[in-house]
Chains A and B, each alone.
Chain A
Amino acid sequence: MSTTTRARADAVAADRGRRGAARRATLRRAPVAVAGICLIIIGWEAFSRAYGKPLLFPGPVDTGNALIDGLTGGDIPAASAASVARVLTGLLIGSAAGVLLGLLSGSSRVLEALFEPFINVFRFIPPLAWFAPALLWLGSGETSKIALIVYTSVFVVAVNTAAGVKAVPRNMVRMARTYGASPVRLFFGVRLPASLPYIFSGVRIALGNAFMTVVTAEMLGASSGLGVLITQGTANTDVRGVFAALIVLGALGLCADRVFVGLLRRYGGRFSARTLGGP
């Protein structure tokens, strides 16, 4: 026993050492990376100055000013809140429906064969294709935009969930049956937690899709949101505001993804100790 424990401890220590070395290497290169990013920003400014039309091709300084104006006393905070609220509502509904659909089709071959044709075709119909019918049926208010986000999340989550349910190790299920676990316990105690890593990665993809869909839907018609700020730039032929909105959009998307992964690492790590990778 003691030998195995010691061997394990040695292995852990060695692993830690390797990771430490990698981190040191990253730190050594960090100044190069920072310098590189500065160089790119200077190049952008220089190019913009050479172009000479700050309204059409603003540099980082003009964009930064527009961003600060928009954030302090401008309409960026309200627009971001509107977009994020739509994303979260749609994502929540879509993920819940997707998990249910995926669990059903992953657990029964008959249901899987019944759902299969729809999941396959709808996956390839872009959410925006439904924009016109959604306007027609649900009106031009919040419902139609949220419906598009639900649509863009539900199939990704369903496909991933079904894959997760099917990938539950057979021995795990057999073990539970050996101890006479009831179907309910087998489902909630084994199948569902074992498929969580797949469900999470589906939701993560859906999150990205949701940001893409909401902005386009807002560009096509909404009273508030980042998409609206972007289309206003066309009307005014002022790219500074557009760039500011794009930066906020990218930052929000990136942050949402990081927060999601962070929450997973913090609270979901044990469900996916080996499966959750990614940057």
Chain B
Amino acid sequence: MTQPITDSQTRSSDEAFVVIDDVSFAYPGSPQPILRDVSLTLRRGEFFVLLGPSGCGKTTILNQVAGFERPTTGAISMDGKPITGPGPDRAVIFQGDDSLLGWLNVRHNVEFGLRALRVPAAERTQRVRRALETVELDGQQGKFPHELSGGMKQRVQIARALVVDAPVLLMDEPFGALDAQTRTNLQDALAGLWEQSQRTVLFITHDISEALILGDRIGVMTSGPGARLQTVMDNPLPRPRARGTAEFADLYGKVEGAVTAAKSRPSAPAGESS
């Protein structure tokens, strides 16, 4: 299955950056593959949203790009170099809060990556302060994760990823566990943040309107196991985007149609029932 690379009205360049080439993935010893023949090219600077039902293997794709897991067949490269493991050029914002270190305060949590990368102390302080300002957490430096709300915890994770200046941000349903209002706030904040920086984002979600607010392009997955990438749709809505406009509703309908079509289509070839 090849991707039709269409021109879009997005801010991103057409330069291929992260290339996922014909990737399949199955756990060793398991006959059922999680992913089947997924090919996808992320362009430098674009915001790509991967949309699909839960359990379809969206997170598996993200894990492969992050380098946590290796494809069973196929290859993934970034800037022409193959991805062999996790690295600070691809910062991950995890679903849930269990990647925050409970025994460190907000400032030290954000600083973690800089320390691991051996950035000098003076520079660390400055960069952490700037990152915390960006996510509007500058007043909460000394608090510990258990003293923060869910939305604030995700902001800490975003700051931790921003502070290392990673060219790629991988976000795994980062707002999935938040209440609707907080989620809306964070979506708008993230959209603003992204517009100011030149980062490539791979964002996983099952929420159509989240995909519409954030994505330049939206990839729709079929349901798993043996999930495939069904289609990739352009999102021409002008930024800053607003929910509830006629164009938004129109596009929502189209994407929803694609999601429904992807669900009903049998994902595995005949003979391998799930």
Majority SS at the chain B contact face: loop
* Given known A7-B149, A180-B87, contact A190–B185 (CB-CB < 8 A): no
The CA of A174 and the CA of B95, in the complex, are separated in Å by 12
Given A171-B96, A178-B87, check contact A8 B116 (CB 8 Å): no
User: Which residues of B in the span 175-214 have a Cβ within 8 Å of any Cβ on A?
Assistant: 181-182, 185
Residues of chain A lying within 8 A (CB to CB) of residue B66 = 174, 178
Nearest chain A residue, comparing its CB with the CB of B164: A179
Q: Does residue B266 face the partner (Cβ distance < 8 Å to A)?
A: no
Closest residue of chain B to A168 (Cβ to Cβ) is B98
Residues of B contacting A72 in the complex (Cβ-Cβ under 8 angstroms): none
B63 smallest CB distance to A (angstroms): 8
Q: Classify the interface of chain A: helix, strand, loop or mixed.
A: helix
Q: Are A180 and B117 in contact (CB under 8 A)?
A: yes
Please name all residues of chain A whose beta carbon is closer than 8 Å to the beta carbon of B185 when the two chains form the complex.
1, 3-4
The reply to whether the CB of A81 lies closer than 8 angstroms to some CB of chain B is no
Q: Does A260 make an interface contact (CB < 8 A)?
A: no
Whether B101 and A171, one on each chain, are in contact in the complex, defined by CB atoms closer than 8 angstroms, is no
Query: When the two chains form their complex, are residues B116 and A180 in contact, meaning their CB atoms are under 8 A apart?
Result: yes
Q: Which residues of B contact A185 (CB under 8 A)?
A: 115-116
Size bracket, chain A contacts? 20 to 34
Q: How far is the CA of A4 from the CA of B91 in the complex (A)?
A: 26
Chain B hits for A180, CB < 8 A: 86-88, 116-117
> Does B182 lie within 8 Å of A4, measured CB to CB?
yes
A171-B94, A172-B99, A178-B87 known; A274+B146 contact, CB < 8 A: yes
B112 and A176 contacting across the interface, CB-CB below 8 Å: yes
- The 8 Å CB contact of A175, one of B94, B146, B148, is B94
B87: chain A residues within 8 A (beta carbon): 178, 180
Residues of B near A196 (CB, < 8 A) are 103
With most chain A CB atoms within 10 A of its CB, the pick from B66, B86, B87, B102 is: B102
In the assembled complex, which residues on chain B have CB atoms less than 8 Å from the CB atom of A194?
Answer: 101-103
Residues of A close to B90: CB separation below 8 A: 178
Across the interface, name the chain B residue whose C-beta is closest to A181.
Answer: B116
Q: B102 contacts A270, CB within 8 Å?
A: yes
Q: How far is the CB of A242 from chain B (nearest CB, A)?
A: 45
Is the CB–CB distance between A177 and B85 below 8 Å?
A: yes
How far is A196 from B103 in the complex, measured between Cα atoms in Å?
A: 10
Among B92, B113, B144, the residue within 8 A (CB) of A273 is B144
Closest CB of chain A to B152's CB: distance in Å? 7
Contacts of B96 in A (CB 8 A): 171
Q: How far is the CB of A181 from chain B (nearest CB, A)?
A: 4
Asked whether B33 is an interface residue with its Cβ less than 8 Å from the other chain, the reply is no
Interface string of B105-145 (1 = CB under 8 A from A): 00000001101110000000000000000001000000010
Q: Which residues of A contact B182 (CB under 8 A)?
A: 3-4
Could you tell me which B residues sit within 8 Å of A by CB distance?
A: 66, 68, 85-88, 90-92, 94, 96, 98-103, 112-113, 115-117, 136, 144, 146, 148-149, 151-152, 160, 164, 181-182, 185
Q: Can you list 9 contacts pairing A with B, beta carbon distance less than 8 Å?
A: A1-B136, A172-B99, A177-B85, A178-B86, A178-B88, A178-B91, A179-B113, A180-B116, A270-B103
